[in-house]
Amino acid sequence: MKEFIEFIAKHLVDTPDSVSIDEHENEDKIIELSLKVASDDVGKVIGKQGKTAQAMRTLLTAIASKDGKRAMLKILD
């Protein structure tokens, strides 16, 4: 999951070297991914009216449910 979101994010931004993702699993078995990009690229990852971010979250949910898990994506400033 982490690699998939990283792949998508690196292809959306101008500086792919600044993309980093932290993965944590909490006690409720929910995988939490925190995406950090350069400050100039935050808008590209979020998209107009949040549609790009929502699409990434939808794909992440589909991948996680295939493994019987739940996942959340946070985009950090």
The domain that contains 38 carries what CATH number? 3.30.300.20
Q: Which residues make beta-bridge pairs with 20?
A: 36
57, pLDDT greater than 90: yes
Question: Range of 62's domain?
Answer: 2-76
Binning pLDDT at 50, 70 and 90, where does residue 54 land? very high
Per the rule left: phi > 0, alpha: psi between -120 and 50, beta: everything else, 26 is: beta
**pTM of the entire structure?**
0.89
Identity of the amino acid at 50: G
CA distance 68 to 77: 30
40-67 average pLDDT score: 94
Total domains, the chain: 1
H/E stretch holding 59 reads helix 51-66
CB atoms within 10 A of CB 71: 21
Model pLDDT for residues 10-36, shown as the tens digit of each residue: 999 999 999 999 999 988 889 999 999
